[in-house]
Homo-oligomer: A and B are copies of this chain.
């Protein structure tokens, strides 16, 4: 934390702060709040790269895949890279960007939730650590490394101090 920000009045005083300008979760949902965005990103993390594979595996039509992938590229979560196999025409692949890596914990956490939900079929998809085979889980911690539960968190509205000096 730098001292450019200071605490605003406690949260209980506010009404809705749903505005994407303030709430980080709202901004995240603006980018990946649709089902097609989530499933397409899942498939990218699971190894798919080409348009056709992505659409088919994510279970969306080409039209939906086209529009959604464009948005994901525009928002900087994915990038569309040309690559050339010698003797073949140029192809494109969709790959996760540095920023897009932040989506992985979300995928993992959703998968974990679903993993613990009752299911009809006994057949199931599992996400495991390649190194040891154990199931993938997510942990919530703070930047200092302490384990954090919902009760351990504080939500605050930060705003620029009126007299703040940049740099």
Contact = CB atoms under 8 A, between A and B. Distances in A.
Interface of A: 1, 5, 8, 11-12, 14-18, 20-29, 31-33, 35, 38-39, 42, 45-47, 56-59, 96, 99, 101-117, 119-144, 146, 148-150, 152-160
A138 B138 contact: yes
How many copies of this protein are present in the complex?
2
A34 to B, nearest CB: 9
A117 B22 CA distance: 11
Nearest to A75: B117
9 nearest CB pairs, A to B: A24-B114, A18-B59, A129-B142, A28-B114, A27-B114, A105-B109, A16-B59, A134-B142, A134-B143
B152 A111 contact: no
